[in-house]
Chain A
């Protein structure tokens, strides 16, 4: 097959994929790709440093409105800091934290789920007990308490975010592993003399990765909301650092004089969670059409 034919086939496949996926999903995916870009390159894209003070242009609204300036198309805050740049950096912080938290939580939960399913009996009881404990308390409130007691350092905050939602991964993994273990091929490979680790890594994990991935996309919006909520209350990310939630929290005090300071970051948060939710739904429907709900 010549190179051009191969390229053409790939293009056709891409076009077919585009036309088969709903428009909303494509938009959501594109937005998330954009966010990924922002997350990686915010420092390069931003027109100003996010803490660059420009008192001449303070409290200027976003561009189409009266009193705005093209130098700061998204507006500025009370110190004249460019809202667009702050938005980029804020989004970067929120996304990074959410990604980190989700991944750490997933790793923790999946590992514990495997352990519970594999070791069984006492380990299972103990781990499921921890799962119950975590599920019994709204982690948001526990986080507030821990932050109150132990102070708000970056390490502490990341640890709290990592522990958010691990119990869902653990529960799902445990259930999936227990049923996957009874599958014919798992038993057959055991009969071939494979060690448990071989069976888990080579057969079970790949076969359960689908639902786990879906859970990741479902969890991600919640994690973002978790971080932004805490930062909004002033308990997560605090100045001089910035995150979307922190900006919203700051902007809340200026609703009358500079409503865009709160609304713009808020819209950003909303778009991120919305896109991930749409993607998560779509992934779930692709994975198992019978779970269409």
Chain B
């Protein structure tokens, strides 16, 4: 049994009807997502905007309800729990997301906010000093207000607050996307150090392949609410199987022009999630699409320790 296991997660949204007679539009942000996460590793989730990766992050944490499927943490189910159990579970899993400043109360000092989880769960406060040191924040900085800190410092504060309860799982949703590139590197390194020192398990959601490549053990690629490919990091980047993954990796600017593939595949326009294509949802943008792809959605199949959802990938890989 893996540390974190998700099976067939489904979450739909309903767009309210525009008229008296049109039925409300339902679209699936998560369309049957299954994954496994081993303790101490990092699963990177990549995809374009609207593919459902942020929704996935929040459903796994229990911050959003799932309309179908289940999630277990250490074998215990985590979805649709009663309030008390849900609150107790917060000590095992926390979220860090993009808007660090927005995640903090502008009226309280930073130190008070890092202490807050300990107050909420009636725990002693001695962890705070150690945490500040681990995330690289001076004690003096902790006595300031959020508006007095830089973006990078704020993200460290948020990470500190997330870790003060000593969780095992950290879900990170675009944690560095709003930061300067140089600061990004610092925070990513910090996260990796923390993982090593504390044995943390990460779910790292991002649209930035470069960062994902640095921090992940395994990488999953999402498209329109489904996982289309999942593989160990090196294998995915060296030999992407799914056409969409190939396009994504091609789209990352490479410093050495001679390394560019001779045939550039255009990435095309992102789809409308409310009106998904039939069959394989990628087929309108896929340069290799066949007739079968327009009718039959491909299943996520295992190939060794990789999974791919594409009709064109044969067994001999």
Asked if chains A and B are in direct contact (CB within 8 A), the reply is: yes
Q: Which residues of A does B touch, CB under 8 Å?
A: 183-185, 187-189, 191-195, 198, 203, 206-207
User: Within the complex, which residue of A183, A187, A193, A207 is in contact with B120, where a contact is CB–CB below 8 Å?
Assistant: A193
Closest to B171 in A: A191
Asked whether A191 and B90 contact (CB < 8 A) given A184-B103, A206-B107, A207-B107, the answer is yes
- Expressed in whole angstroms, the minimum distance between the Cβ of B173 and any Cβ of chain A is 12
Q: Is B88 an interface residue, CB under 8 A from the partner?
A: yes
Asked whether A183 and B161 contact (CB < 8 A) given A191-B63, A192-B94, A192-B117, the answer is no
- 23 pairs from A and B in contact (CB 8 Å cutoff): A184-B99, A184-B101, A184-B102, A184-B104, A185-B103, A187-B63, A187-B103, A188-B95, A188-B104, A191-B90, A191-B95, A192-B90, A192-B94, A192-B116, A192-B161, A193-B86, A193-B89, A193-B90, A193-B117, A193-B165, A195-B120, A207-B105, A207-B106
Asked whether A185 and B117 contact (CB < 8 A) given A191-B61, A192-B90, A193-B87, the answer is no
* Contact call A185/B102, Cβ cutoff below 8 A: yes
* Contact call A191/B94, Cβ cutoff below 8 A: yes
Q: Is B91 an interface residue, CB under 8 A from the partner?
A: yes
- Expressed in whole angstroms, the minimum distance between the Cβ of B164 and any Cβ of chain A is 9
- Expressed in whole angstroms, the minimum distance between the Cβ of A84 and any Cβ of chain B is 46
Which B residues are in CB contact (< 8 Å) with A193? 86-91, 117, 120-121, 165
The 6 A-B residue pairs whose C-beta atoms are closest, nearest first, are A184-B102, A193-B90, A193-B87, A188-B103, A185-B105, A192-B117
Which A residues are in CB contact (< 8 Å) with B91? 193
* Contact call B116/A189, Cβ cutoff below 8 A: yes
* Contact call B107/A195, Cβ cutoff below 8 A: no
Query: 11 more A-B contacts (CB under 8 A) besides A185-B102, A188-B104?
Result: A184-B103, A185-B104, A187-B103, A188-B95, A191-B61, A192-B116, A192-B117, A192-B161, A193-B89, A194-B120, A207-B105
- Expressed in whole angstroms, the minimum distance between the Cβ of B239 and any Cβ of chain A is 38
Considering residues A194, A195, A198, which has the most beta carbons from chain B within 10 angstroms of its beta carbon?
A194
